[in-house]
Structure 1
């Protein structure tokens, strides 16, 4: 077992997820970099290790209950606990329509990754955090899921991120004292998903997630944040 905090970051092999892994590892956490593609995960982890961080690449498909269960068992066996869960893995599908014309299957596919995956991971790991009275959960959401400004952009993606924000509130209540659960909006970031025309770097996009993952006891919970500031739902 280890005395340093253990953090799991889903979708950690690229973009914002990889940068969250890098920043957490360089702050001294032992990061479990989760990716569907084991080779890509190992390559991303190797780069962070060379920079001085402690990272272990782990296989994970957030859409697969068996994959999540296998990882939960491995974490318990090798580390005895999980201190930080960052639900970053997500899909933004080519939707090609509006809310009335997009096929229901596209909504289901978006929800499976962007909502059901985080739900399953919370159910796997938050009970242990609750029992210990300590833990951090960060849901990487989006301004697209913000009801206060929602329009017609990417309806399936937007709906899935709004659902993720609702999950944040629910898990914050269920986690009990000491388990801080928050959503964050990274903004429009230069990644494979955001494109090279986006104004923000991966480092900027990851900053608020890292801040929430390392909150001190008594920090905020059940909130939605952008650039370390609480924003409306």
Structure 2
């Protein structure tokens, strides 16, 4: 019996790190759902991935919208009947001015809605499909700026003061831990990943790493063996402190 092709969904996969995660999993022979809101960019990404030999398919997906997420789960159900890997990559930074004393609270609310609640919404919708996989994996794309340890370490590089983006990643890390606790008696492995400071449109392309470099840790966590870690926070060098 031939091994079934693995199925992955990557949110926010039409560009940047998300695209490179999809490309990396596609290069492994996986079937990869390109989750994205923008139809034109989504289909352009799918076409490019297919041209490079990947088995890619588009998944209309707005992580902030219940109906959109439900429809995305239905699409994958109809296409494959299961999901092997979910990479929660979609995220926003919000405005570059995020001083806590002057921030527009809408900026904070919007960051949390996408970076945290969106992850919960998508994860819960996809869990029934993940439970049908022999080796399900969930990867939450976080950031070292979400580490409270690093944020409170004198001299540690944690970027500019940010009362929306950085705390949203701290919140996401906490959510990862809570999922791990609830799912500890299952075969689902769930971890947070830090891609490093990559040059993407989220930061005005100021990063010193490429999106492909940033995608590597997500691909590693998506392809963990059954005895791999769960409930951790990792970058390419190993564990990142919470």
Normalised by the length of structure 2, the TM-score is 0.91
What is the CA-CA distance between 1:97 and the residue it aligns to? 4.0
Q: 1:218 aligned to 2:227?
A: yes
Verify the 8 A CA contact 1:90 1:114 in the aligned structure 2.
Answer: yes
Verify the 8 A CA contact 1:133 1:179 in the aligned structure 2.
Answer: no
Q: In structure 2, the residue corresponding to 1:137 is in which secondary structure?
A: strand
What is the CA-CA distance between 1:167 and the residue it aligns to? 1.1
| Number of the residue aligned with 1:199 | 208
| Number of the residue aligned with 2:181 | 173
What is the CA-CA distance between 1:39 and the residue it aligns to? 1.1
What is the CA-CA distance between 1:181 and the residue it aligns to? 0.1
Verify the 8 A CA contact 1:95 1:102 in the aligned structure 2.
Answer: no
Q: Which runs of 5+ in 2 are unaligned?
A: 153-159
Measure the CA separation in 1 of the matches of 2:29 and 2:119.
24
Q: In structure 1, the residue corresponding to 2:103 is in which secondary structure?
A: coil
| Number of the residue aligned with 1:209 | 218
Verify the 8 A CA contact 2:98 2:164 in the aligned structure 1.
Answer: no
Q: 1:227 aligned to 2:228?
A: no
Q: In structure 1, the residue corresponding to 2:164 is in which secondary structure?
A: helix
1:131–1:25 distance in 2 versus 1, CA, 3 Å: closer
Q: 1:113 aligned to 2:103?
A: no
* Cα RMSD, aligned residues only: 1.6
Matches within 5 A, 1:1-233: 3-130=4-131, 134-150=135-151, 153-175=161-183, 176-227=185-236, 229-233=238-242
Q: Deviations over 1:194-226 (max 9, x none)?
A: 333321111110000000001111100000001
Q: Deviations over 1:100-157 (max 9, x none)?
A: 3212221110001000110011111124434656310000001111111126622101
Measure the CA separation in 2 of the matches of 1:112 and 1:69.
17
Measure the CA separation in 2 of the matches of 1:96 and 1:187.
21
What is the CA-CA distance between 1:58 and the residue it aligns to? 1.3
Measure the CA separation in 2 of the matches of 1:146 and 1:155.
13
Measure the CA separation in 2 of the matches of 1:73 and 1:162.
30
Normalised by the length of structure 1, the TM-score is 0.94
User: Structure 1 residues 197-206 or 3-12, which shifts more?
Assistant: 197-206
Q: Which runs of 5+ in 1 are unaligned?
A: none
Measure the CA separation in 2 of the matches of 1:187 and 1:206.
9
Q: In structure 2, the residue corresponding to 1:47 is in which secondary structure?
A: helix
